Every structure is written in C-alpha cells, then in structure tokens.
Amino acid sequence: MIVVTGAAGFIGSNLVRGLNARGLDNILAVDDLTDGDKFVNLVRGRIADYMHKDDFRCAVREGFMPGVRAVFHQGACSDTTERNGHYMMDNNYRVTLELFEYCQSHKIPFIYASSAAVYGAGPVYVEDLANEKPLNVYGYSKFLFDQVVRARIQKCTAQVVGLRYFNVYGPQEQHKGRMASVAFHNMNQFIAEGHVRLFGGWDGYPDGGQMRDFISVRDVVDVNLHFLDHPTQSGIFNCGTGRAQPFNDVAMAVVNTMRQLRGDPALPLEALVAEGLLRYVGFPDDLKGRYQSYTQADVTALRAAGYSAPMRDVQAGVSEYVRELHGAS
C-alpha cells in the first residue's frame, strides 16, 4: 500500500492520479473532508481506502499501519497568512515529525512536501542553511522540519526526501481559495470581468514584473515519482523549473489561451494592456516586506539526483492548464 496524505488536496490528488497512471491504486488516501466539497478531487482517482487525518495520526502513534510501501506526505496548512503558530506548528511540524519517525522505525520511504517559503525573500535559492530565512510561521514550520532531516539523515534507515515546492499551478486547486495559483485567479477574473489584474511595480520591478518560478503540478508529480523509483536517494531538493518568469507571462498565457479558445488571435503584452485586458493595481502596503518579488529554484541538486526530464515553461504549462479546465485538447 502507498499512503498519500493531503490526498484530496491540490498536489495530493494529482499525485494519486499519477500513481494510478502507473497502475497503482492500492492507495490509502488521508485528508480532512470536513469541507466536503473537496471530495471532487478524489472522484477521478482510484484509491483503496480513505482515512481522516486525525484517525490516521492516532494509527501512526499506535504503530498500526502494516504493509506500507511508501508515504507521500502532502498534507499541511499551506496558508502563508495563517498567524496561529500553535496550530501551524502542530499541523505542519509535529505531525510530519511523528510520521517521519514512524517511517524510519518501519523502514518505509518518506517523501514529504517542504516549501520555497523557507527561503523568505531570497535572493539565493540553493538548499543551504545560509540562504534560509522564512518570513512567516508557515515557512518556519517547513524550515524546522527540514533541519530535523538534515540532523538525522546520516543515520536514517529508509529514504527521506523533502521537496521544496515553488509556485505550483494546475488542475484541482479550486478549493484553495485565495491560496490558489495566480493562473487560477487570472482565469476566474478574465471570465467574470473580461480582464486580468496584476500588482503594479514595486521593489524595483515594473508593473507585473515581479518574477517567480512557476511549476506545473504535472512536473511536481513526476519529480515525486522519480524518488519513488529511486529509493536509495535521500535529501532536500528544490522542486521548481529553475526558470523565473514574470507574472505578466502568466497573465498573457491565460488571456491569450482564452482568446484562442474563443477564436480570437493572441496579442502581445502591450496590446493586452492597451485594450484593457490586462490591468495593474497598486502594490498593497500590507505585503511590503513580506512578499517574494523574485524566486528561482536552483535545481542543481535535483538534476544531480538523476531527474532529467524537461520542465514546462509558463507559456506551455499554463496554456495546457487553461485548455484542460475548458475541455479543450
């Protein structure tokens, strides 16, 4: 059996489908369906069983989880604006530590979600303590567990892999609300209002020019499965494309793909702005000093671990995403 926590979430549900594509469906899906609408993310996935996250935590503590081949731990609170440190540290740090220790005691490969939030404002995104300065308690919860892994990795009895996700976008993120990707929000804005809004210039960047490493969830799934295939490899790895692109690129990919689906031609950035299809709003004061204006994963370690597949750029990945959501090939 393979365990996927956060299985009804964004990355977790895509990971279930990635496993299914390999013919693997003996999957224990762990999540919290108190928000029952999240069930839709599991409908197209094949699983053997479902367990509420609190019941699963109790089962782990009691040591009753036989026959597990690997654990993909994707479950976490990913809201970077959450200020309840007690909740965040228990939900993200303590639960992860308990599951890691269980996996080590039973020699089970453990692949978990870390985050690029550990780097704070950067500007260097290399997996090294000197570069890690989280700006919020979410980032700190991920940072602290990564330090546990670093301290114990030489004595580990089974694989442990931490993947520092950068800005992930793709299908099955609709439940994330304000924490959904820029691409998702851009699509909804364009459908509802006929235009897309981005932050104006700040921190030395022009309008819409802040840059992030945007990665398709399909590439994220492939990276996870790479480590399932290579159980002797352990470590903490950036999970990004290694390519920073401006928010303008995301908006252009969304708007132009939507236009093409309607039979209209793609337009360059200047024309999108001139026609009011892309608009800029003042940069919020409350985000100044708490916002990553630039991220770009250094993927040297990931490539050295043998992951050689090309990553989708924004133009390809976002267009694919928009077309899938609208039933186009």
* 107 is known as an active-site residue: no
Catalytic pick from 50, 133, 176, 291? 176
Query: What is the model's pLDDT at position 328?
Result: 63
Q: Are 253 and 187 in contact (CB under 8 A)?
A: no
Q: Are 139 and 115 in contact (CB under 8 A)?
A: yes
Residue 63, classed as helix, strand or coil, is coil
Q: Are 241 and 213 in contact (CB under 8 A)?
A: yes
- Please provide residue 238's backbone torsions phi and psi, each rounded to the nearest 5 degrees: -70, 140
* pLDDT values of the chain reduced to their tens digit, one per residue, 329 residues: 999 999 999 999 999 999 999 999 999 999 999 988 889 999 999 999 999 999 999 999 998 778 999 999 999 877 777 778 888 888 899 999 999 999 999 999 999 999 999 999 889 999 999 999 998 999 999 999 999 999 999 999 999 999 999 999 999 999 888 888 999 999 999 999 999 999 999 989 999 999 999 999 999 999 999 999 999 999 999 999 999 999 999 999 999 999 999 999 999 999 999 999 999 999 999 888 778 789 999 999 999 999 999 999 999 999 999 999 887 65
Residue 212, classed as helix, strand or coil, is strand
Amino acid occupying residue 96: T
Residue 107: Cβ within 10 Å count: 10
How far apart, in whole angstroms, are the C-alpha atoms of residue 129 and residue 106?
A: 29
Burial group, residue 265, by CB count within 10 angstroms (0-12, 13-18, 19+) = exposed
How far apart, in whole angstroms, are the C-alpha atoms of residue 34 and residue 52?
A: 9
pTM of the model: 0.94
User: Tokens in use for 200?
Assistant: 């104006």
How far apart, in whole angstroms, are the C-alpha atoms of residue 157 and residue 179?
A: 36
Query: What is the model's pLDDT at position 326?
Result: 87
* 165 is known as an active-site residue: no
Query: What is the model's pLDDT at position 329?
Result: 54
How far apart, in whole angstroms, are the C-alpha atoms of residue 214 and residue 168?
A: 6
Query: What is the model's pLDDT at position 79?
Result: 73
Catalytic pick from 112, 125, 138, 321? 138
Q: Are 29 and 7 in contact (CB under 8 A)?
A: yes
Query: What is the model's pLDDT at position 87?
Result: 85
Query: What is the model's pLDDT at position 92?
Result: 92
